[in-house]
A and B are shown apart, each in its own frame.
Chain A
């Protein structure tokens, strides 16, 4: 699913070494926490997976695509294999919940009939069917994050990347969102959660990769349930 081989990333603009010779592998269907302090290299790690940045050295494979060989025009097709959830939700305020989720489908050219079937199903999955016609400003932080999650899920990606998904929600909601991600993972989707909240990592006994100063300093390895599979 995701393979990093001796990946180093140095930003040419300021010479910062964000990742230093990172090698790791995340299998299909895993649930992985990426933890680390601010500036440790977590965001760069995600940007490299999404191909927003290219490595200075090393090679990356995501969903069977060798990113160093990936042509610019093929990048959108890589991104269609993943759903991204941001800390600040990034919902379009003038659109309703339904439209925000449908927007992700329209962007990849899905037909109206498919959208009309799929969006209510996904909204039901995240528990927001009744809020379909509300605008993001009418929702709580937790609900907004669930809309963001619905948008990430609607195109049926094989990988969900959540960048600090609980950063802007209260602890109770954080737990609910993590449970939702766990449910999605149980259905076969690989989930990658970047967080600095140790409580969450401790409550959900999943694989945890710790990054510090651009290096992987610890990796708990594949979680017990994955080994059982």
Chain B
């Protein structure tokens, strides 16, 4: 195909969009909504996952050792704790430090005589787990270690955080899938309308010997351009929306949120690819019918 032919086909694609501008605008509007919802689901999923991770990091489990364990024995127990699969860190928390912490909270008087050998508290370890979904198994494994007396169980918190993360991820997946399919139908419908408006030209094109790809190109260009414009608008809206939501929510739920700018490039890339793919696929799906028909069949005569 010559350069001037390709230029002509691109021009035709834009001309189609302009001639069919109301439908083009409607498609862009719906596609932008789909992409913004998809992006919002993605941002929510990323942030919830991040919050779960950060809460998990802060979700320190205290492992209490037997009363008669010496500091030397405690070091040995600490090594055994660190050897467990799901343990990220195990920090020794001597009973002297614990009693000071109690004094700070409850006052000197109560714990005045509870220092040195009279300290009734046991040595302990502060343990951070890697994967909170394995919380119960890890607690069981820790309790099997000689010298470990008890573990302050926070399994309910771990369970809730894990299930929240799974729920958000699943919801995001289904939202993205459903909106992807809806977008495809919308583009296909727009192109079908354009093709219906152009069925006369298509019948002439076929009668003078235009190849199927020649007939197809302007419509594919139209679909791709609609997809790209929608992606561009959706990226801008998503940036504004996510920044506004984060700044509103961080006062109520003080977590560290991931701003749009941190995940901008993969999202821009994904949106542009999705826009181009949905546009091209939608066009190809709707043009197939016309390319199968011949002569007056195209015109419906």
Q: Which A positions have Cβ atoms within 8 angstroms of B?
A: 47, 50, 52-53, 73, 76-80, 83-84, 90, 92, 103-104, 106-112, 151, 155
Contacts and interface: CB of A to CB of B under 8 A. Distances in A.
A205 to B, nearest CB: 30
B260 interface: no
Contacts of B248: none
Contacts of B203: 90
A73 B212 contact: yes
B8 interface: yes
A107 B212 contact: no
B208 A92 contact: no
A83 B208 CA distance: 7
Interface of B: 1-2, 4-5, 8, 200-201, 203-212, 214, 294-295
Contact of B207 (A50, A92, A106, A111): A50
The dominant DSSP class at the B interface is: helix
Contacts of B207: 50, 79, 84
16 contacts: A50-B207, A76-B206, A78-B209, A80-B208, A80-B209, A103-B204, A107-B208, A108-B209, A108-B214, A109-B2, A110-B5, A111-B2, A111-B4, A112-B4, A151-B208, A155-B209
Contact of A108 (B200, B210, B294, B295): B210
A90 B200 contact: yes
Nearest to A86: B207
A181 B212 CA distance: 30
B8 A106 contact: yes
Contacts of A53: 294
A50 B295 contact: yes
Contact of B204 (A77, A78, A90, A112): A90
Question: Which 6 residue pairs of A and B lie closest in terms of their CB atoms, listed nearest first?
Answer: A80-B209, A79-B209, A107-B210, A52-B294, A104-B208, A76-B209
A110 B4 CA distance: 8
A108 B1 contact: no
A163 B278 CA distance: 41
Nearest to B299: A90
A105 B207 CA distance: 12
Contacts of B214: 107-109
Nearest to A95: B201
B16 to A, nearest CB: 12
Contacts of A109: 1-2, 5, 214
A52 B206 CA distance: 10
A107 B211 CA distance: 8
A107 B205 contact: yes
Given A90-B203, A92-B204, A109-B5, A76 B210 contact: yes
Given A52-B294, A90-B200, A92-B200, A79 B206 contact: yes
Contacts of B2: 109-111
Contacts of A76: 206, 209-212
Which of the listed residues B208, B212, B214, B295 has the most CB atoms from chain A within 10 Å of its own CB?
A: B208
Given A52-B294, A107-B205, A109-B2, A73 B200 contact: no
A132 B208 CA distance: 20
A185 B106 CA distance: 114
Given A77-B209, A109-B1, A110-B5, 16 more contacts: A50-B207, A52-B294, A52-B295, A53-B294, A76-B210, A78-B209, A79-B209, A84-B207, A84-B208, A92-B201, A103-B201, A106-B8, A107-B214, A108-B208, A108-B214, A111-B2
A79 B8 CA distance: 21
A76 B8 CA distance: 19
A52 B292 CA distance: 10
Nearest to A113: B4
A104 B205 CA distance: 7
Contacts of A84: 207-208
A108 B8 CA distance: 12
